Amino acid sequence: MSIRHALLALLAEGSKYGLQLRQEFEARTGEVWPLNVGQVYTTLQRLEREGHVESDETERDGAQRRYRITVGGERELDRWLRTPPGATPPPRDELVIKVQVAVRLPGVDVREILQVHRRRLVEEMQRYTHLKAEADPDDIALGLVVDAELFRLEAVVRWLDAADARLRRLPATPPVAVEAAPSDPARPSGPADREPTESTPAREGARR
Amino acid sequence: MSAVLSLRQVSKVYGAGNAAVHALRQVDLTVDGGELVAVMGPSGSGKSTLLTIAGSLEEPTDGEVLVCGDDVSTMSTDAQARMRRRAIGFVFQDLNLLAGLSAVENVALPLELDGVGARAARAAGMRVLEELGLAERAAAFPDDLSGGERQRVAIARAVVGDRRLLLADEPTGALDSANGEAVMRMLRAACKRGIAGVMVTHDAQLASWADRVVFLRDGRIVDQTASTGPDAMLAGDVAP
Ligand SMILES: Nc1ncnc2c1ncn2[C@@H]1O[C@H](COP(=O)(O)OP(=O)(O)OP(=O)(O)O)[C@@H](O)[C@H]1O
Ligand SMILES: [Mg+2]
């Protein structure tokens, strides 16, 4: 979130003094807005030049001036709320790369590798969920941030589960040549690459 | 805290010969009062089997099941049934609420079956429904309740009276995440009051409400998270 829009959002609650803005900004930083407090006054100056905020006593310094949001500022805030967040695709997930590598390495129990990551992720989810469980249910800001983390982590666990299911379905076949495997460790990919584990899917068909 | 549930080297084989299915293999699991344990694993990994054996609804092929320190296999059928009624609460995915009984009657039923007078049973049922925020729906019949409310009634029925062990199979069913969270808050609260809880799920968000998460694969406990429960030092069910 840009510091401009954080300040506009604070001013949308009502007019505020510069010092007050800085304090409220600081209080909410880390919780929702992990931003640099130092830039509060320079950003206010810029917002004023742009006509998004106005203040009365121009001779005082930023801390003592009272700011209010303008109609233009409200429009800018509304525009920002509706603009999709940065849509650059994330770099290839490191976990995906690790699992792709594990699939090709001989003597590696890939499902065990998947489980190591699954456990770590679930432990992290437990920390967030317990935080939520102990928190004041009215703490909306915390709930929103914690939920976002939980859904993100859950998606990774589900990806691991899907990978696990794929590996179960392909028991004796050699590992598939994986596209875009970084720095191929130049190993021959043969049936010996993946040890058949005792968890054979032979019973799969017999399941209800 | 002492162990409410202990599974020792529990195995379960369905069928025989070539058709034999090893649903559980040498499972060790101990759950203390006050602790909520989640069991995660893919479909067919043995989660429901573990739960039905823990609740003495089925017998293990091998190994021991202890509830509150008593070996279930040495109990008479009557004593087992009594223990199930008194000490163990079940929440199944299909809830099993009786359509002809109101919410509070459903909740009070296990107490009445156990010989508690109708009036006292009803009062106990109302108390639990109040705790779960359902007091004003107590007189409604299951068909007139929302899915989330039915789920809460099923949980109320599972914790009413003096239950020691709560066994839940995918307890949030098809609920949305807000209702699922409400259900998990209740399970967690019940355990904080001293009940031992085992919840089976494939959903990591639900599992993350637990003090400890145990991972099943092909009938075996292959891993577990570090316990965050009341007695973190005792979580030694799986050798490292
Ligand atoms: N009564 C039964 N007779 C024969 N096989 C059974 C019986 N009950 C379960 N099984 C088998 O035992 C294995 C474990 O089943 P279980 O129901 O415990 O799995 P689960 O982990 O609960 O799966 P799901 O997530 O799909 O509910 C499966 O292979 C299943 O087919
Ligand atoms: Mg099941």
Q: What is the mean pLDDT of chain B?
A: 87
Task: Return d(Cα B103, Cα B223) in angstroms, integer.
Answer: 39
Examine the pLDDT at A11 and tell me if it is beyond 90: yes
Q: What is the mean pLDDT of chain A?
A: 78
Residue carrying structure tokens 């930083």: A29
Task: Judge whether A17 lies within some domain.
Answer: yes
Quick: pLDDT tens for A129-140: 999 999 888 888
Q: Are A13 and A58 in a shared domain? A: yes
Contact yes or no for B217 and A111 at CB 8 A? yes
Are A63 and A8 in the same domain? yes
- H/E stretch holding B18 reads none
Does position A189 have pLDDT exceeding 80, yes or no? no
Query: What was the pLDDT predicted at A171?
Result: 59
* CATH topology (fold) of B3-96+162-234: Rossmann fold (3.40.50)
Domain range enclosing A20:
3-82
Q: Quick one: three-class SS letters along chain A? A: CCHHHHHHHHHHCCCEEHHHHHHHHHHHCCCCCCCCHHHHHHHHHHHHHCCCEEECCCCCCHHHCEEEECHHHHHHHHHHHHCCCCCCCCCCCHHHHHHHHHHHCCCCCHHHHHHHHHHHHHHHHHHHHHHHHHCCCCCHHHHHHHHHHHHHHHHHHHHHHHHHHHHHHCCCCCCCCCCCCCCCCCCCCCHHHCCCCCCCHHHHHHCC
Average pLDDT on B93-111 reads 86
Q: Is B81 on the interface with A (CB under 8 A)?
A: no
The pTM for the full model equals: 0.77
Q: Is B40 in the A-facing interface, judged by CB distances under 8 Å?
A: yes
State the maximum Cα–Cα separation within chain A, in Å, rounded to a whole number. 83
Q: What average pLDDT score do residues B155-163 get?
A: 86
Query: Has residue A178 been placed in a domain?
Result: no
Which of A111, A117, A119 to mutate against chain B (most B CBs within 10 Å)? Answer: A119
What ipTM was reported for this prediction? 0.84
b (16+ CB within 10 A) / e for A78-95? eeeeeeeeeeeeeeeeee
pLDDT tens digit sequence for B199-232: 999 899 999 999 999 999 999 999 999 877 555 4
Residue A2 has pLDDT above 80, yes or no: no
Confidence tier at A190 by pLDDT (50, 70, 90) = very low
Instruction: For chain A, give the percent of residues with pLDDT over 70.
Output: 71
Give nearest CA residue, ligand 1 atom 17: B48
Which of residues A200 and A65 earns the better pLDDT score?
A: A65
C-alpha angle with apex A145: A143 to A151, nearest 5 degrees?
95
- Parse chain B into domains and list their residue ranges: 3-96+162-234
Q: Which of A123, A128, A199 sits opposite B218 (nearest CB)?
A: A199
First-to-final CA distance of chain A: 50
A102 and A66, same structural domain?
Answer: no
Task: Kindly list the residues from chain B whose CB atom is less than 8 angstroms away from the CB atom of residue A205.
Answer: none
Is residue A202 in a domain?
no
Residue A40 lies in a domain: yes
Predicted pLDDT of residue A193: 41
Is residue A184's pLDDT more than 60?
no
Closest CA to B168 of B35, B47, B68, B28: B47
Kindly indicate the confidence band of residue A200, based on its pLDDT and cuts at 50, 70 and 90.
very low
Residue A71 sits in a domain whose CATH number is 1.10.10.10
* Shared-domain flag, residues A132 and A76: no
**Number of structural domains chain A divides into:** 2
Nearest by CB to A165, from B42, B213, B226: name it. B42
pLDDT in tens, A14-53: 999 988 888 887 777 655 565 566 788 889 999 999 999 9
**A86/chain B closest Cα distance in angstroms:** 27
Instruction: Give the Å distance between the CA of B206 and the centre of ligand 2.
Output: 15
A126–chain B nearest CA distance, Å: 4
